[in-house]
């Protein structure tokens, strides 16, 4: 489907944007290891190394007007016309524009007055740098003399203080320039002479006619990025930043004969030096401090990268490696069906988003500033379930990192910083669902890999050396954290909140200066219990029991089983409201999510989790709950989180009731929890219903891009619900558990190819009119090609098939 903004190009695994004026910046991610870049369709965004807060390399302005300001820009001055290949910031109308967002790369191409400028941005594997290959082509019959300026603005490393501590920052900036006959490098070295052992650089593989490193000198005191003084005047000022705002801009004069093409390679990189190797003997570079500078950077490491990528062939080779990596990653699970959009989600975009959420957790997007949240305990455990089949070894390390932030009683920091891997108290704690997600993540890893040895790894509590116990012990304590924190009905106490961070039943906040996520939590005497955690406990508890059985720990399995039975009974006895599962009990023990309530009568989380856990299955409770969810929560864009939404602030409910009706956790369509309902539908054998809801949420089926607003190729966290002003409007794209959950849903529950300890289970639950599909699944060191045929229009098989694990290649045909 071509729209006024663009279209999918599945053969190249790209989304092609053909109009720069998208309803919101449509972004992509560069890098999938340690060096990252966010890049919008107009080349806006920024770079960082590992941690968007502590190692921010380039500056970005949030809340800007217009919204996406700052990035890596190229200005082309062709006679009196100044333009950018990505349209912004000059916004000179282009003769043609195209942005191709692919898997960890973006290629932006603009044509103006018979000059084509195409920029390929990507981060080579194993390299701490973004490469920018600028290809200029003279499409005319005459020679062209172009003036080309690069531009990027340095961030003073700490993304948080960079935006607030101006009294210091405006005096600290320092740079160096290095000019050789092969390249021109601008180095950013603020604070390098003291405690930092890292620097950044921006180079071009050519001598230049000038450069700028001071923002005011380049942009001009009263100008904007759309009209930089230096570009208007057609020359660089060779400015040296002394404090204020250091930037990096190269100025090149380029002559192109008719039809000629020229490539320039720019490298925006980051390096660290060991403390004893920080400084070079003086080498005549130009520095901010001039002759007085005793602190010339030892540039050996940057030079290695600069030398390596001096030629187009080297850049092409690195790009081919990246493409090969994605070929390999995407070959682990591949579907072929008659539905192009299903294939697109499964084979490309959903898996790609899972990689990005694995790398970023909830840290850096155009909705997450990168200075607030880092790696969430629950978030990262969920993310790795969508990623574990791609690179199991990285998932393994992540599990150990997450577990190491746990406390001895099983409780957790809600998040940790990617750079330090230490728990971050500023973001809060005491969410009583958190520990269970460790079971969820770890068991998914072992089912995928059969690597039981991870359970013997010694993992500390709260990163304290000497406190190490086995990962298996962490799992036991995680399970017991719920057992040890039961409320008056025998249901799990909620703590600060459960999966719904905004259901703050113990905060009682009346101070707008407090964050609901960190404010004092009055759990003393609280009766606040969560049915969501109850369902999660039964579901993950069974995973724990299965694991114990697989490890021949039958006594522990039996002990856990007993607690699960107790929880089942507690839910059936106190958690059923007649037609659906209650959501919670508040501090005083009053019902939440009950027909007795005026607003917030029914919630999706407890329907999803208790139905997935099949609580009360003998009495048909899951099916009744699913019917009720369909009746009260469903809408053309998916199921809302709760209905009716709250219209007033409830001090006893917290942040949820702060949101306007229909948004976020108050009646928004939280794409993250729709898959819980879909999975529960598949468990109830309702393939048609599951498919209908899946398609409402999955981006490949979204038709109205103006309404949806955010990227059409990835899931967003929330779509405005039916009580909102603009139902169907999407927000918070990219970093959401929606990616992993929808991956789990479509790959393991709808298409139904599910790894278990015993073998690969084939248990599809599909729409009756899907006649056939084929999945190629590389699992452990085996490859299974599974063809599912559905000649009689069924929704599922009478009994699932288990394909036992055996190395090698296997072909199976399953007839429903």
Of the candidates 634, 52, 694, the residue with the CA atom closest to the CA atom of residue 375: 52
- The continuous run of DSSP H or E covering 184 comes out as strand 184-188
Q: Output the smallest distance, CB 186 to ligand BGC, in A.
A: 37
Q: How far is it, in rounded angstroms, from Cα 648 to Cα 512?
A: 15
How far apart are the C-alpha atoms of 531 and 581, rounded to whole Å?
Answer: 8
> What is the radius of gyration, based on Cα positions, of the chain?
28
Between 70 and 370, whose beta carbon lies closer to ligand BGC?
370
Are the CB atoms for 125 and 318 separated by under 8 Å?
yes
Q: Which is nearer to ligand NOJ, 332 or 362 (CB)?
A: 362
Stretch that binds ligand NOJ, among 376-384, 535-543, 549-557, 676-684 (CB under 6 A): 376-384
**Binding letters toward ligand NOJ, positions 379-418, x by CB under 6 A:** x---------------------------------------
Q: What are phi and psi of 669, to 5 degrees?
A: -90, 100
Choosing from 185, 236, 502, 677, the residue that interacts with ligand NOJ (CB under 6 A) is: 502
Burial label, 741 (beta-carbon count in 10 A; 0-12, 13-18, 19+): buried
Please name which of 31, 146, 22 lies closest in space to residue 88, comparing C-alpha atoms: 22
The interface with ligand BGC within residues 730-749 (CB under 6 A) comprises none
Minimal CB distance residue for ligand BGC? 501
**Which does residue 376 touch among ligand NOJ, ligand BGC, none (CB within 5 to 8 A, set by kind)?**
ligand NOJ
CB of 150 to ligand NOJ, least distance (A): 36
Q: 13 contacts which partner out of ligand BGC, ligand NOJ, none, CB within 5 to 8 A by kind?
A: none
Q: Which x/- pattern, by CB under 6 A, does the window 654-693 give for ligand NOJ?
A: -----------x----------------------------
Candidate list 499, 580, 691, 773; residue touching ligand NOJ; CB under 6 A: 499
SS3 482: helix
Select the binding partner of residue 517 from ligand BGC, ligand NOJ, none (C-beta < 5 to 8 A, by kind). Answer: ligand BGC
Binders of ligand BGC among residues 638 to 667 (CB under 6 A) are 655, 664-665
Quick one: which H or E segment has residue 186? strand 184-188
If one counts every other C-beta atom within 10 angstroms of the C-beta of residue 757, the result is: 15
With CB under 5 to 8 Å by kind, the binding choice for 109 among ligand NOJ, ligand BGC, none is none
Site string for ligand NOJ, 341-370 (x = CB under 6 A): ---------------------x--------
Residue 605 touches which member of ligand NOJ, ligand BGC, none, C-beta under 5-8 Å by kind: none
Distance (Å, rounded) from C-alpha 318 to C-alpha 9? 22
Q: Which is nearer to ligand NOJ, 379 or 634 (CB)?
A: 379
For 705, the 3-state DSSP assignment is helix
Q: What is the dihedral of CA 163, 168, 171, 175, to 10 degrees?
A: -60
Interaction pattern, residues 664-703, with ligand BGC; x per rule: CB under 6 A? xx--------------------------------------
Q: Please report whether residue 501 would count as binding ligand BGC according to CB under 6 A.
A: yes
- Contact of residue 763 among ligand NOJ, ligand BGC, none (CB under 5-8 Å per partner type): none
Piece in contact with ligand NOJ (CB under 6 A), picked from 129-137, 496-504, 538-546, 573-581: 496-504
Whole-number minimum distance, CB 677 to ligand BGC, in Å?
Answer: 19
Stretch that binds ligand NOJ, among 222-230, 373-381, 383-391, 759-767 (CB under 6 A): 373-381
Scan residues 510-539 and list those touching ligand BGC (CB under 6 A). Answer: 517
Q: How many CA atoms lie within 13 A of 299 on its CB side?
A: 28
Q: How far is the CB of 605 from ligand NOJ (least distance, A)?
A: 9
Rounded CA separation 504/16 (Å): 42
3-state DSSP assignment of residue 335? strand
Q: Is 666 left (phi over 0), alpha (psi -120 to 50) or beta?
A: beta
Q: Which is nearer to ligand NOJ, 158 or 500 (CB)?
A: 500
Instruction: Give 496's contacts (C-beta < 8 A, 6+ positions apart).
Output: 428, 429, 430, 431, 432, 504, 506, 507, 517, 521
494 binds ligand BGC (CB under 6 A): no
User: Which of 47, 273, 347, 500 is in the footprint of ligand NOJ by CB under 6 A?
Assistant: 500
378 binds ligand NOJ (CB under 6 A): yes
As measured in angstroms, the least distance from the Cβ of 679 to ligand BGC is 21
When the beta carbons of 377 and 580 are compared against ligand NOJ, the nearer one is 377
153 binding partner (options ligand NOJ, ligand BGC, none; Cβ < 5 to 8 Å by kind): none
With contacts defined by CB under 6 A, how many residues of the chain interact with ligand BGC? 6
215, 217, 222, 224: CA torsion to nearest 10 = -50
Please state the separation of Cα 634 from the chain's center in Å: 26
Annotated catalytic sites, by residue? 501
CB of 251 to ligand BGC, least distance (A): 44
Q: Which is nearer to ligand NOJ, 208 or 612 (CB)?
A: 612
CB 795 within 8 A of CB 685: yes
Distance from C-alpha of 700 to C-alpha of 705, rounded to nearest angstrom: 11
Query: For the purposes of burial, counting CB atoms within 10 Å of the CB of 12, is it exposed (0-12), middle (13-18) or buried (19 or more)?
Result: middle
Do 109 and 116 touch, CB atoms closer than 8 A? yes
- Binding of residue 214 to ligand NOJ (CB under 6 A): no
Instruction: Name the binder of 379 from ligand NOJ, ligand BGC, none, CB < 5-8 A by kind.
Output: ligand NOJ
How many residues does this entry show for the chain? 816
Residue 501 in the binding site for ligand NOJ (CB under 6 A): yes
Neighbours of 649 (CB within 10 A): 14
End-to-end CA distance of the chain: 32
Residues that bind ligand BGC (CB under 6 A): 501-502, 517, 655, 664-665
Q: Which residues bind ligand NOJ (CB under 6 A)?
A: 362, 376, 378-379, 499-502, 665
């Amino acid at each position: 489907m071509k729209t006024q903004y663009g279209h999918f190009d599945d053969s190249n695994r790209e989304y092609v944007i053909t109009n720069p004026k998208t309803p919101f910046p449509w972004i992509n991610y560069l890098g999938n290891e340690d060096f990252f870049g966010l890049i919008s369709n107009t080349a806006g965004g920024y770079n960082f190394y590992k941690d968007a807060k502590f190692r921010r390399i380039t500056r970005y302005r949030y809340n800007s007007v217009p919204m996406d300001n700052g990035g890596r820009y190229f200005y082309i001055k062709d006679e009196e016309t100044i333009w950018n290949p990505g349209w912004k910031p000059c916004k000179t109308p282009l003769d043609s524009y195209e942005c191709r967002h692919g898997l960890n790369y973006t290629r932006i191409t603009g044509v103006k007055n018979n000059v084509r400028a195409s920029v390929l941005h990507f981060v080579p594997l194993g390299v701490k740098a973004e490469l920018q290959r600028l290809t200029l082509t003279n499409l005319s019959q005459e020679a062209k003399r172009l003036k080309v300026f690069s531009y990027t603005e340095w961030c003073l490393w700490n993304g948080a203080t960079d935006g607030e501590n101006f009294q210091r920052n405006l005096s600290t900036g320092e740079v160096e320039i290095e000019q050789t006959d092969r390249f021109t490098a601008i180095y950013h070295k603020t604070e390098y002479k003291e405690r930092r052992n890292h620097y950044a650089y921006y180079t071009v593989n050519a001598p230049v006619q000038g450069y700028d490193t001071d923002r005011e000198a380049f942009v001009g005191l009263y100008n904007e990025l759309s009209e930089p003084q230096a570009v208007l005047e057609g020359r660089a000022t060779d400015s040296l930043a002394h404090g204020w705002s250091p930037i990096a801009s190269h100025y090149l004069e380029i002559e192109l004969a008719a039809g000629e093409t020229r490539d320039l390679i720019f490298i925006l990189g980051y390096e660290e030096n060991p403390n004893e190797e920080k400084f070079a003997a003086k080498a005549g570079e130009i520095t901010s401090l001039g002759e007085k500078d005793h602190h010339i950077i030892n540039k050996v490491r940057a030079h290695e990268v600069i030398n390596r990528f001096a030629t187009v062939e080297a850049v092409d080779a690195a790009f081919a490696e990246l493409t090969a990596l994605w070929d390999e990653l995407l070959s682990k699970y591949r579907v072929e069906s008659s539905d192009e959009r299903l294939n697109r989600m499964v084979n490309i975009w959903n898996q790609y988003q899972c990689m990005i959420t694995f790398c970023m957790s909830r840290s850096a997007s155009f909705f997450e500033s990168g200075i607030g949240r880092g790696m969430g305990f629950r978030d990262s455990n969920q993310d790795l379930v969508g990623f574990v089949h791609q690179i199991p070894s990285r998932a393994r390390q992540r599990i150990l990192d997450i577990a190491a932030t746990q406390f001895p009683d099983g409780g957790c920091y809600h998040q940790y910083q990617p750079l330090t891997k230490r728990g971050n108290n500023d973001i809060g704690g005491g969410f009583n669902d958190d520990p269970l997600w460790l079971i969820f993540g770890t068991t998914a890893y072992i089912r995928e890999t059969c690597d039981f040895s991870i359970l013997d790894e010694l993992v500390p509590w709260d990163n304290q050396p000497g406190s190490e116990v086995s990962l298996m012990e962490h799992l036991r304590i995680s399970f017991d954290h719920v057992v040890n924190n039961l409320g008056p009905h025998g249901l799990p106490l909620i703590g600060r909140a459960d999966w719904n961070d905004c259901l703050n039943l113990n905060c009682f906040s009346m101070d707008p200066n407090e964050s609901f996520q960190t404010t004092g939590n009055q759990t003393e005497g609280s009766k606040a219990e969560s049915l969501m955690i109850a369902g999660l406990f039964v579901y993950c508890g069974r995973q724990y029991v299965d694991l114990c059985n697989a490890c021949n720990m039958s006594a522990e399995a039996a002990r856990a089983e007993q607690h699960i039975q107790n929880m089942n009974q507690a839910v059936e006895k106190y958690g059923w409201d007649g037609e659906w599962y209650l959501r919670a009990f508040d501090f005083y023990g009053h019902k939440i999510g009950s027909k007795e309530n005026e607003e917030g009568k029914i919630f999706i989380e407890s329907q999803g989790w208790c139905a997935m856990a099949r609580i009360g299955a003998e009495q048909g409770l899951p099916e009744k709950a699913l019917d009720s969810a369909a009746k009260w929560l469903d809408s053309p864009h998916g199921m809302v989180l709760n209905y009716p939404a709250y219209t007033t602030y409830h001090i006893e409910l917290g942040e949820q009731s702060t949101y306007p009706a229909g948004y976020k956790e108050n009646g928004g369509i939280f794409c993250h929890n729709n898959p819980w309902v879909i999975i529960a539908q598949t468990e109830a054998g309702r393939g048609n219903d599951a498919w209908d809801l899946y398609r409402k949420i999955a981006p490949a089926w979204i038709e109205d891009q103006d309404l949806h607003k955010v990227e059409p190729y990835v899931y967003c966290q929330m779509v405005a619900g039916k009580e909102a002003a603009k139902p169907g409007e999407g927000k918070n794209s990219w970093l959401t558990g929606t990616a992993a959950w929808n991956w789990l849903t479509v790959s393991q529950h709808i298409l139904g190819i599910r790894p278990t300890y015993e073998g690969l289970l084939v248990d599809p639950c599909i729409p009756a009119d899907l006649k056939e599909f084929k999945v190629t699944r590389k699992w452990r060191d085996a490859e299974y090609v599974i063809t599912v045929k559905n000649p009689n229009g069924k929704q599922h098989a009478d009994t699932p098939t288990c394909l036992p694990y055996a190395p090698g290649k296997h072909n199976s045909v399953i007839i429903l």
